[in-house]
Amino acid sequence: MDPEIFKNSPTGSLAITEHSQFAFVPDELPPRGIQNDAIINRLSDANIQLGELKGAGRNFPNPYLLIRPLQRREAVASSNIEGTHTTLSDLFLLEAGASEAKRPPDTREVMNYVSALEYGIKALVDLPISTRMITEMHRILLSGLPKTRGGSIVPGEYKRNQNFIGGTTLSTARFIPAPPQEMSRLMGNFENFINSDLALRMPALLLAAITHYQFETIHPFPDGNGRVGRLLVPIILKHRGALDEPLLYISPYIEERKDDYIAGLYNVSKTGDWNGWIDFFLQIIEKTCRNTIRTIQKLHDLNIEYLGKVQKARRSALLGKLIDWCFEVPYITIRGVEKYLDISYLSARNHIKTLEAAGILSEYPYSKKPKIFVAWEIYEILETM
C-alpha cells in the first residue's frame, strides 16, 4: 500500500506493520466530515422505499415465505462477490440433499452464510449487536470448511497476522487495513458506538452505511470480512426497527456494482469522502427496496394463483400448506414433504403428483436419487430478481 496516498487522510492514520509496511488505521467512531445537506435527499428517498418495503412485507400473510428464499439469494450473491461461486439452484439442490449439487465446498460455505444470518437475526432477541455476536457469525460462516479454503484461519477469532486487500502479498497490496494489535480497541469502539445514544438517534440507514465502512476498514478477521460486514446490514436494520422482518438484502446489487462498492470504501480512507460512500450505499438500498417490493408482489400473485388452483379442485388443506412450503423451499423431495407435512411417504408422493398435474412442480431432470421436484415459476422469480 502506498502510504503517500493515505498520509493526509482526514479519516484515519498510518501505522507501521509487518514487513515494514504501512497499515491504515481508521479513526474511532463517530465519524467526522459527513455533510448532512448533501445526503438528505438521498436518505429521504431511500427511507420512503424502505417504508414501502415494510408495508409490502406486512401485506404478505406469512413473511417466512419471503424471508427464507431472500436470505438464500443474499447468501449466493454475497459469496459470489468474494469469489465463492454457487448458483441459487446449487444451493437449493444441496439443501434438498441432491448428491449432484455442484462444487460442494463452495455451496457449503453459502449454506453457512445462511446459518450465520439466521443466527444473527435470532440472537437479536437477547443480545445487543456486539463483538460476541459478530465473532459467532464469523465462526458459523467459516466452520467445517476444508483446509484448502480455510487455511490457518480459526473461525470466530480476530486476525493474528496483518491481512491485506487487493494484490497477492503485503508489499503489493492495494490496501492494508488496521494491524492485529488494534483489533480489541477498534472493535470495542465499534460495539460501543453501535449501542450509543448517538447511534440510536441516527437514521438506521445512515448507521448501516457508516458501520459498514468502519467494519471493512478494520477488517478484523483473516477472511470473511466482506460477508460478515454485509450480514450486519439487515441485522442493524431489524435491530433498529427499520423493518419488522429481515427482508432487505443488498448483495445482489452490490455484486452488480462491485467496482463502485470497493471504490466507495477506499475513497473514505483516501480522501475522507464519506458522502460519496453514503450516497452509493443509499442508492443500493433504494434499488434493492424497489426490486424486493416487485418480487414480493410477483410471489404474492403466484401464491394466490396456486392456492386458487387447488381450492377449485377441493383438495386437502395440506396441499395449501405444501404450496406455501414451495415458496420457502422451491426444491423439494418426497421424504422432505413426508416429514414437513407429517404424512406417509405414499401420501407425500401423491401430494407432489397433484402439484405436478397442476403445473406447479416438475421433476428436476438431473437428479435421480433422491428425486427432486422444482417449483420453477417460483425459482425463476427469485433467480431473476
Ligand X SMILES: Nc1ncnc2c1ncn2[C@@H]1O[C@H](COP(=O)(O)OP(=O)(O)O)[C@@H](O)[C@H]1O
Residues that bind ligand X (CB under 6 A): 81-82, 165, 175, 216-217, 223-227, 229, 262, 265-266, 269
* Minimum separation from the CB atom of position 35 to ligand X (A): 21
* Minimum separation from the CB atom of position 243 to Mg ion (A): 27
27 binds, among Mg ion, ligand X, none (CB under 5 to 8 A by kind): none
Does 136 help bind Mg ion (rule: CB under 5 A)? no
Judged by beta carbon, residue 82 or residue 338, the one nearer Mg ion is 82
Segment interacting with Mg ion, rule: CB under 5 A, options 6-14, 81-89, 246-254, 359-367: 81-89
Cβ contact 76:110 at 8 Å = yes
Judged by beta carbon, residue 155 or residue 226, the one nearer ligand X is 226
DSSP 8-state symbol, 28? P
265 binds, among Mg ion, ligand X, none (CB under 5 to 8 A by kind): ligand X
34 CB contacts (<8 Å, ≥6 apart)? 210, 274, 275, 278
Q: Dihedral, CA atoms, 167, 80, 113, 129, nearest 10 degrees?
A: 60
Helix/strand/coil for 86? coil
Judged by beta carbon, residue 83 or residue 241, the one nearer Mg ion is 83
Site for Mg ion in 102-121 (CB under 5 A): none
Does 82 help bind Mg ion (rule: CB under 5 A)? yes
* Minimum separation from the CB atom of position 224 to ligand X (A): 4
Instruction: State the alpha helices, DSSP H only, in the chain.
Output: 3-6, 36-59, 64-81, 88-96, 104-123, 131-141, 147-150, 183-194, 197-201, 204-218, 225-239, 251-256, 258-271, 274-312, 317-328, 334-341, 345-357, 376-383
Segment interacting with Mg ion, rule: CB under 5 A, options 134-142, 215-223, 230-238, 277-285: 215-223
Rounded Cα distance, 293 and 350, in Å: 34
* Minimum separation from the CB atom of position 155 to ligand X (A): 12
Judged by beta carbon, residue 212 or residue 309, the one nearer ligand X is 212
Rg (CA), the chain: 22
Prior bond to 128 cis, omega within 30?
Answer: no
- From residue 1, alpha-carbon distances to 19, 117, 270 in Å are 12, 33, 11
Judged by beta carbon, residue 115 or residue 316, the one nearer ligand X is 115
Judged by beta carbon, residue 59 or residue 169, the one nearer ligand X is 169
317 CB contacts (<8 Å, ≥6 apart)? none
Does 223 help bind Mg ion (rule: CB under 5 A)? yes
Judged by beta carbon, residue 149 or residue 298, the one nearer Mg ion is 149
* Minimum separation from the CB atom of position 321 to ligand X (A): 37
Helix/strand/coil for 304? helix
Segment interacting with Mg ion, rule: CB under 5 A, options 18-26, 223-231, 286-294, 348-356: 223-231
Q: Which three cell numbers stand for residue 106?
A: 463452495
Q: Which residues bind Mg ion (CB under 5 A)?
A: 82, 223
